[in-house]
A and B are shown apart, each in its own frame.
Chain A
């Protein structure tokens, strides 16, 4: 069923009784060419691009719960390609380009809203770093604009320019940055993959890998053994656990990132704004809620919840930056378990087990990377070679020293 205005009119006039399931609910087959573990954004996008770009459709996506129940359903929906390092920036720019054509590609409105993203700076060294980053973005074709204080005041008059503890000196603006309706991304990819023949299998937890002589030949699941020629693991916060089933240890720790949404409000905030003197970033959803977050709690955890001090820290940043939001009420807080890597950058790579592929270490930035993450993992699995923009995202980079440390914090996962 193709979605269109006409279809909506037709269904509306007939009681909306004709809509079909967005994806089928097949039983798993005994064997697939490719099994993807994890029905989140990355897993689903990988399946979609394997099918749509490489014509591979004998694929199952296995999801422990319901699709999108992980981080793709519990993030702050921000997309951007404003990275500094050459190992990162071209990758995120590919992701941005894929976002820009996504909805027409998958015939699903994920509400990709490029209303711009501003990273504020408050000191001269921060400004220098922002200029370096902005130029890196320009070199990669991502676009960037340096805003001075006056230009910022015109765009965001509600920022605290008069009583601020750390005066705002300006901002680095990526006009193409923005937000996407996060749940719709996974639904849209699922729909697109399903229509091309991919089996999306929910409530199917992987409990082990069938590895013989160093070659992965399938997975064991709560719904039986499933054979595969190739297996990819895209399980974000569960990376350590799932890869552990294959006997692999990773340069990854699992941490919780909390986020908050307020009650619905009439439009108040344009685009995405990120504080540079504290942990706070915010956007406003189409429904009117202010969606905001900050830093991770900082301790290893698999519980999808955090504690008060982090929420307080985030709100302090919010009030320091834009005291007009004080009377907006936080409606919900939630936590996502994120796979923090040791340099803050992800992995899209083969593993020492032949036929077993891994995408992970997305830290708290995996959402924006969903299209390119899926695209590049699909490329690697289908062609055997890493995609050009993901060449640096190797698992062995801590051994060689070719780390991709955007923040320069070193090998401490919770600092990235």
Chain B
């Protein structure tokens, strides 16, 4: 597979390490009264879609960026690659 890195251009996926669903960015609030349930779902429960999947890849043998890759799990076609940090900031994660 080839991941078109937003900063570096196309690079072999072998340079990357895969983590999983990009929902892992949305770590729940540990102070929430339902924190136990929220963390359970956050860490374990997956949509596991057959189709577009937003997922986290780490450019371990590269620029050490975490990327959010939108890839079709039926065809492996990649339609979007973003820096995970930008995604996280856009989703309201900060400090």
Q: CB atoms of A and B under 8 A apart anywhere in the complex?
A: yes
Q: List 19 A-B contacts (CB under 8 A).
A: A240-B46, A240-B48, A241-B50, A249-B45, A251-B45, A252-B48, A253-B21, A299-B13, A300-B21, A300-B48, A301-B73, A303-B73, A342-B43, A398-B40, A398-B43, A399-B36, A411-B44, A412-B19, A413-B46
User: A412 with B46: in contact, given A301-B76, A307-B1 (CB under 8 Å)?
Assistant: no
Nearest-Cβ distance from residue B32 to partner chain A, whole angstroms = 16
Q: Is A284 an interface residue (CB 8 A)?
A: no
User: A254 with B40: in contact, given A240-B48, A309-B14, A414-B20 (CB under 8 Å)?
Assistant: no
Chain B contact residues, CB within 8 Å of chain A = 1, 13-14, 18-21, 36-37, 40, 43-50, 53, 55, 71, 73-76
> Which of B44, B48, B50, B55 lies in contact with A299, CB distance below 8 A?
B55
From A251, A299, A413, residue with most partner B Cβ within 10 Å: A299
A399 to B40, CA, bound (A): 6
Interfacial chain B residues near A250, Cβ < 8 Å: 45-46, 48
A374 to B71, CA, bound (A): 35
Q: Is A298 an interface residue (CB 8 A)?
A: yes
| A254 pairs with B13, CB closer than 8 A | no
| A308: nearest chain-B partner, CB-CB | B14
Nearest-Cβ distance from residue B31 to partner chain A, whole angstroms = 19
Nearest-Cβ distance from residue A130 to partner chain B, whole angstroms = 28
Q: Is A334 an interface residue (CB 8 A)?
A: no
Interfacial chain B residues near A241, Cβ < 8 Å: 48, 50
| Residue interface mask A86-114, B partner, CB < 8 A = 1 | 00000000000000000000000000000
| B48: nearest chain-A partner, CB-CB | A240
Q: Is A161 an interface residue (CB 8 A)?
A: no
Can you add 7 more A-B contacts, CB < 8 Å, to A240-B47, A299-B55, A300-B21?
A244-B47, A252-B46, A299-B13, A300-B53, A302-B50, A303-B75, A398-B43
Nearest-Cβ distance from residue B21 to partner chain A, whole angstroms = 8
Interfacial chain A residues near B18, Cβ < 8 Å: 298-299, 414
| B48 pairs with A254, CB closer than 8 A | yes
Interfacial chain A residues near B47, Cβ < 8 Å: 240, 244, 249
From B13, B20, B36, B49, residue with most partner A Cβ within 10 Å: B20
The residues in A between 222 and 252 inclusive whose CB is less than 8 angstroms from any CB of B are: 240-241, 244, 249-252
| A399: nearest chain-B partner, CB-CB | B40
In the complex, how many residue pairs between chain A and chain B have their CB atoms under 8 Å apart?
A: 67
Interfacial chain A residues near B50, Cβ < 8 Å: 240-241, 254, 302
Chain A contact residues, CB within 8 Å of chain B = 240-241, 244, 249-254, 298-303, 307, 309, 342, 398-399, 411-414
Q: Chain A interface secondary structure, helix, strand, loop or mixed?
A: mixed
From B45, B46, B75, residue with most partner A Cβ within 10 Å: B46
User: A251 with B46: in contact, given A307-B13, A412-B20 (CB under 8 Å)?
Assistant: yes
Nearest-Cβ distance from residue B41 to partner chain A, whole angstroms = 8
A302 to B71, CA, bound (A): 12
Interfacial chain B residues near A301, Cβ < 8 Å: 73, 76
Nearest-Cβ distance from residue A212 to partner chain B, whole angstroms = 25
Nearest-Cβ distance from residue A332 to partner chain B, whole angstroms = 20
Interfacial chain B residues near A398, Cβ < 8 Å: 40, 43-44
| A253 pairs with B40, CB closer than 8 A | no
| B40: nearest chain-A partner, CB-CB | A399
A301 to B40, CA, bound (A): 23
Nearest-Cβ distance from residue A275 to partner chain B, whole angstroms = 20
| A253 pairs with B74, CB closer than 8 A | no
Interfacial chain A residues near B71, Cβ < 8 Å: 299
Interfacial chain A residues near B46, Cβ < 8 Å: 240, 249-253, 413
CB-CB nearest 9 A-B residue pairs: A240-B48, A251-B44, A398-B44, A309-B14, A342-B44, A302-B50, A411-B43, A299-B18, A298-B18
Interfacial chain A residues near B53, Cβ < 8 Å: 300
| B48 pairs with A253, CB closer than 8 A | yes
| A341: nearest chain-B partner, CB-CB | B44
| A396: nearest chain-B partner, CB-CB | B40
A254 to B75, CA, bound (A): 14
A301 to B18, CA, bound (A): 12
From A302, A307, A309, residue with most partner B Cβ within 10 Å: A302
Interfacial chain A residues near B13, Cβ < 8 Å: 299, 307, 309
| B73 pairs with A254, CB closer than 8 A | yes
